[in-house]
A and B are shown apart, each in its own frame.
Chain A
Amino acid sequence: MSILLDDTNAIVIQGITGKMGRFSVRDIADYGGRVVAGTSPRRAGAEVEGIPVFADMRTAVGETGADTALVYVPPAGALDAMLEAIDAGCRLVVYPGDGLPVADAIAMRAAARRSGAVVVGPNTPGVISPGKAKLGFMPSFCYRPGSLGVISRSGSLSYEVCHRLSRAGLGQSTVVGIGGDPVKGVNAAEAVAYFHDDPATDAIVYLGEIGGGDEYDLAAYAAQPDAKPVAALVVGRSAPRGRKMGHASALIDARADGHAAKIAALRAAGVCAAETLSQLVPEVERLVQPQAASA
């Protein structure tokens, strides 16, 4: 199994005629994902790589049975595109774009909760269940099937880490980019809950950073007696206070936002916490192969 995404998802790409849409049609299909439709309000009736383009989501879903949306729409139209996907009945919606106003992210999250849909993003490469399907633009060669559930606030960091894990023989059940914005469709606590319920996930790897409170939600999970083993990396040890490090929520304001406080809280909860990238794979190995690591 996996979470959120497998080879049964029927994918529609909103904004399929744009540069990213065209790239993803082929990239997702090459990975074995089922792209069944695209939308473009002005290009209905066209085809992209043999995939039919519809004017709107209701038609796309009605004609093809799509149940999953990948949204490549600029920020000014992104909330409406996501609401359209949810209203058309999609159960999973990924919005990779960054620059979404936070008020729109709040409206997006509220709409998803009302309908029972899952929205991943904004500001994420998406979701991949290695060996089954991908829904986003992460580089496929970084992943291999396995039993680690990976959650990341950062896209490129997740490629780097999964590449290292895969080379070390540590495959992944699903990798979900929860994104770098403060208000997320799926936050760390919710992603952890999905992995907790997934029988194919034996352990959780979390890639976090300074700022925001997701790492404390992760610690709260890890402290529970029935929690799955958790390893984590927190980046930003060298970041100055009071400056936003690219991501909207990567800002040290209070002490709890900082690297040292997060590492301490994670370790107190029993998480194998890495202070830098180089330490992460050894921490994960310690987690999944305790005998080998202590030998």
Chain B
Amino acid sequence: MFLREFEAKHLLQSVGVTVPGGTLIRDPAELDECALSYPLAVKAQVAGGGRGKAGGVVRAEDPAAVRSAARRVLSLDFEGERAEAVLLEPWLTAERELYLCVAVDGRAGGYVVLYAPQGGVEVEAGQPPTRYDVGSPNDFRGHELRDVLAAVEPDAALRESVVPLARQLLHLAASRDCVTVEINPLFVVEDGGLVAGDAKIILDEWAAFRSADIAEAIARARRGEPDLVRRCLEAGLMLVPLDGDIGLISGGAGMTMAVMDLIAEAGSRPACFLDCSANPAPQGYGLAFAMLDADPRVRSILVSIFGGATQMERVARVMTRLMAERDSDKPVVFRLNGTNAHQIDDIFAAAGLDNHATIEAAVATAVNVIGGGA
């Protein structure tokens, strides 16, 4: 879960990282009661990247400019998200802007520290940051990071400040279930101190059971979703709405992507990534059909499940029941296989349903039935 900047900076501050003293407002009317010094940065608080390029950070020299900038950034659309709050921070004069990040990395088998001597919005376009593969947090060694930094950072005094800061970020990541703790830009101020200009923290949603912060961030993200999408997510379905016309009800992330690719190859497009394997029960599949039946863009529905732990005779019975109860004319195409698959044909035959032998055949039917295809 992507935290907003003010939440991320609160976490950074809690482990001793220096952040600019900011003021959070939710309404420009609150500005009357704020004692501010100028110039300052007016920053939209949204849970996504690309904010600066979208005009969500504005420099303001006086109260009138702050007021108009706050109004403007609160009205902007950031890829479908509106800012609910604005962070006002002193506009810092930096000697340099660095990039420092601690993130989970599969190839490191744990955490990696990333450093670039030039931070800012262009860090992705420049040389990739230098890596220090930590792995387990207990395997962090300051001297190893110092050696890695020496190859790209000539300022020895600065290196000595970055090493303990990296350890602080690692401690935060490991103790608070963060998968990314990124400071970009990391300001070097006049006295040589390091100040977090921005902060991007992504929390591990699987750790919600032991973190109120994470549970709250998930709940907040879901509040912004349409009702049926939110109910699908709450039922454990993995759902990413897309913009095609074939509703895909599937099982397993890799198989779902494989079928999406086949739909695209057949000349159509999937309406969603929807992996129901966490809830292969009447409730889960029922919500999936309810959402796709209600979506006017969806013209046919493809059910593609190759079950392992999911026992397919149960899925077949759930499907026959849902088809009998369903109130929609949208065609539904099945391809079920997996554990106990030999029982599917009899169950489907009794209900007058067809099961396709291969996923390619099922995709072709789902595409042809709506007159699509290359």
- Chain A residues in the interface with B (C-beta under 8 A): 20, 23, 75-76, 96, 98-103, 106-107, 109-110, 125, 136-139, 141, 152-160, 163, 180, 182-184, 187, 207, 209-210, 212-214, 216-217, 233, 235-240, 243-250, 254, 275-278
B224 at the interface (CB under 8 A from A): no
A137, A275, A276: the one contacting B308 at CB < 8 Å is A137
Q: Is the CB of A246 within 8 A of B306?
A: no
Q: Kindly list chain B residues whose C-beta atoms are within 8 Å of the C-beta of A246.
A: 238, 240, 252-253, 256-257, 273, 275
Give Cα A163 to B339, complex, Å.
12
> Closest residue of chain A to B237, judged by CB?
A246
Give Cα A21 to B255, complex, Å.
25
Q: Kindly list chain B residues whose C-beta atoms are within 8 Å of the C-beta of A240.
A: 240, 242
B307 at the interface (CB under 8 A from A): yes
A-B pairs with the 6 shortest C-beta distances?
Answer: A154-B254, A156-B252, A246-B253, A157-B254, A110-B136, A156-B255
Do A106 and B253 form a contact, CB below 8 Å, given A137-B339, A243-B240? Answer: no
Q: Is the CB of A110 within 8 A of B135?
A: yes
Q: Kindly list chain B residues whose C-beta atoms are within 8 Å of the C-beta of A187.
A: 106-107, 109
Q: Is the CB of B258 within 8 A of A106?
A: no
Q: Kindly list chain B residues whose C-beta atoms are within 8 Å of the C-beta of A210.
A: 257
B90 at the interface (CB under 8 A from A): no
Give Cα A151 to B259, complex, Å.
19
Do A276 and B124 form a contact, CB below 8 Å, given A159-B306, A183-B104, A238-B270? Answer: no
Question: Nearest-CB distance from B339 to chain A (Å)?
Answer: 5
The majority secondary structure among interface residues of chain A is loop
Give Cα A155 to B307, complex, Å.
9
The majority secondary structure among interface residues of chain B is mixed
List B246-279 residues whose CB lies under 8 Å from chain A. Answer: 251-265, 269-270, 273, 275, 277-278
Give Cα A154 to B256, complex, Å.
10
Q: Which of B8-16, B154-162, B204-212, B281-289 participates in binding chain A?
A: B204-212
Q: List 25 A-B contacts (CB under 8 A).
A: A75-B209, A98-B278, A102-B204, A103-B177, A139-B306, A154-B254, A154-B257, A156-B255, A156-B306, A156-B338, A183-B109, A187-B107, A209-B254, A213-B106, A214-B106, A235-B254, A236-B257, A236-B260, A236-B261, A240-B240, A240-B242, A276-B258, A276-B261, A277-B261, A277-B262
B138, B253, B260: the one contacting A110 at CB < 8 Å is B138
> Closest residue of chain B to A247, judged by CB?
B253
Q: Is the CB of A212 within 8 A of B106?
A: yes
B105 at the interface (CB under 8 A from A): yes
> Closest residue of chain A to B255, judged by CB?
A156
Binary per-residue interface labels of chain B (160-182) against chain A in the complex, 1 for a CB within 8 Å, 0 otherwise:
00000000000000100101000
Q: Kindly list chain B residues whose C-beta atoms are within 8 Å of the C-beta of A102.
A: 104, 177, 179, 204, 206-207
Q: Is the CB of A182 within 8 A of B106?
A: yes
Q: Is the CB of A137 within 8 A of B309?
A: yes
Q: Kindly list chain B residues whose C-beta atoms are within 8 Å of the C-beta of A107.
A: 136
Question: Nearest-CB distance from A213 to chain B (Å)?
Answer: 4
Give Cα A139 to B110, complex, Å.
32
Q: Kindly list chain A residues whose C-beta atoms are within 8 Å of the C-beta of B251.
A: 156
Q: Kindly list chain A residues whose C-beta atoms are within 8 Å of the C-beta of B252.
A: 154-157, 246
Give Cα A244 to B265, complex, Å.
21
Give Cα A158 to B253, complex, Å.
11
Most B CB atoms within 10 A — which of A75, A156, A240? A156
Q: Is the CB of A248 within 8 A of B206?
A: yes
Given contacts A20-B309, A109-B135, A180-B254, 8 further A-B contacts (CB under 8 A): A99-B206, A101-B177, A103-B177, A138-B308, A158-B254, A246-B253, A247-B253, A276-B261
Give Cα A23 to B111, complex, Å.
36
Do A238 and B260 form a contact, CB below 8 Å, given A75-B209, A160-B255, A187-B106? Answer: yes
Question: Nearest-CB distance from A70 to chain B (Å)?
Answer: 12
Q: Is the CB of B207 within 8 A of A154?
A: no
Question: Nearest-CB distance from A82 to chain B (Å)?
Answer: 14
Question: Nearest-CB distance from A246 to chain B (Å)?
Answer: 3
Q: Kindly list chain A residues whose C-beta atoms are within 8 Å of the C-beta of B111.
A: 106
Q: Kindly list chain A residues whose C-beta atoms are within 8 Å of the C-beta of B87.
A: none
Q: Is the CB of B262 within 8 A of A156?
A: no
Q: Is the CB of A245 within 8 A of B137?
A: no
A98, A106, A217, A276: the one contacting B135 at CB < 8 Å is A106
Q: Kindly list chain A residues whose C-beta atoms are within 8 Å of the C-beta of B207.
A: 101-103
Binary per-residue interface labels of chain B (207-235) against chain A in the complex, 1 for a CB within 8 Å, 0 otherwise:
10110000000000000000000000000
Q: Is the CB of A217 within 8 A of B177?
A: no
Q: Kindly list chain A residues whose C-beta atoms are within 8 Å of the C-beta of B137.
A: 106
B359 at the interface (CB under 8 A from A): yes
Binary per-residue interface labels of chain B (97-139) against chain A in the complex, 1 for a CB within 8 Å, 0 otherwise:
0000000111101110000000000001000000000011111
Q: Is the CB of A277 within 8 A of B359?
A: yes
Do A209 and B257 form a contact, CB below 8 Å, given A101-B207, A156-B251, A278-B262? Answer: yes
Give Cα A291 to B70, complex, Å.
70
Q: Is the CB of B204 within 8 A of A101?
A: yes
> Closest residue of chain A to B134, judged by CB?
A106
> Closest residue of chain A to B105, judged by CB?
A182
Q: Is the CB of B106 within 8 A of A184?
A: yes
Q: Kindly list chain A residues whose C-beta atoms are within 8 Å of the C-beta of B242.
A: 240
> Closest residue of chain A to B111, judged by CB?
A106
Q: Is the CB of B261 within 8 A of A250?
A: no
